Structures are given as structure tokens and as C-alpha cells.
Amino acid sequence: MGNSFRVGDISSGKRLVFSLKDRGVSPTALALHRVLHKAFKWGVQKEILLRNVSELATPPAPNKSEMKVWNLESRNKFFQAIKEHKYSDLLRFTMATGLRRGENCGLKWEYVDFIGHQIHIYKKIIRISG
């Protein structure tokens, strides 16, 4: 990032978070705030730190953007295009339920209530880079 910050220096933490936000990386800035908050909280619990300085910072608000949904014509084109695809059932299911990729990956047959016509989402699978 090209910046240096001292641990425990709240103004440095604010600069880091808001420099990310200024570059339009608000979700990353918010995630960074959450990670720092949790790390500093652990440090206080282990008596490594005297206090959690992240509590003094206001986390940046996530960027709110209007959700874009496909119209009927777009959906029909999509369904037509995937008709012969080997994952067409999964894609149609995802489209019909609105589940996210990780939620789909976390599904098990035991989460399906065929009598009550419900699917229960108990967990999701995520990939962690690095």
C-alpha cells in the first residue's frame, strides 16, 4: 500500500480504512475494520493490549447499490441458452431460489423438506484465497 502504520495508533488505522474507501474499496475497508476490531479484541482479552482502539473508529458504510435483476426476456434467453448444459438443473435451481454460489455448495439432501416444500440453508462453502 505504500503506507506505514503503527499498531495501536488509531489515526493511522483511520487513515488506512478511509484511504481504501477513497479509492472505492469500501467492502474491503469494512472487512479490514472488522478484522482489526476482532484482532484487537483478542489482544485485550489476552492482556497484550490495554484497550481495543478500533472501538474509537467508525467503520465505513458499505456502498449501497441498487440490485439489478433480469427481466422476463433476459431470463428466458438464459434458460434457453443453458437448456443442454450439464449443469442446467443447478443453474435453474439457483435462478429460481436466489441462492448464492456458496449457499448452493453447502446444501445437503438432509436440508430439503419434501413434505413442507422447504429448503433450509444451514451453511455455506467459501473459498479463501492465499
Map out the domains of the chain as residue ranges. Answer: 10-56, 66-97, 99-130
pLDDT, tens digit (0-9, with 9 covering 90-100), for 23-75? 655 557 778 888 888 988 998 999 998 999 888 888 877 777 888 888 999 99
Q: Are 91 and 85 in contact (CB under 8 A)?
A: yes
- Give the C-alpha separation, 106 to 121, whole Å: 8
pLDDT, tens digit (0-9, with 9 covering 90-100), for 63-112? 778 888 889 999 999 999 999 999 999 999 998 888 999 999 999 999 99
Q: Among residues of the chain, what percentage have pLDDT more than 70?
A: 78
Closest CA to 99 of 68, 120, 117, 127: 120
For residue 14, the model assigns a pLDDT of 59
- Give the C-alpha separation, 118 to 121, whole Å: 10
Distance of CA 60 to the CA centre of its chain: 15
For residue 26, the model assigns a pLDDT of 53
85 class by beta-carbon count within 10 Å (0-12 exposed, 13-18 middle, 19+ buried): exposed
Q: Are 54 and 36 in contact (CB under 8 A)?
A: yes
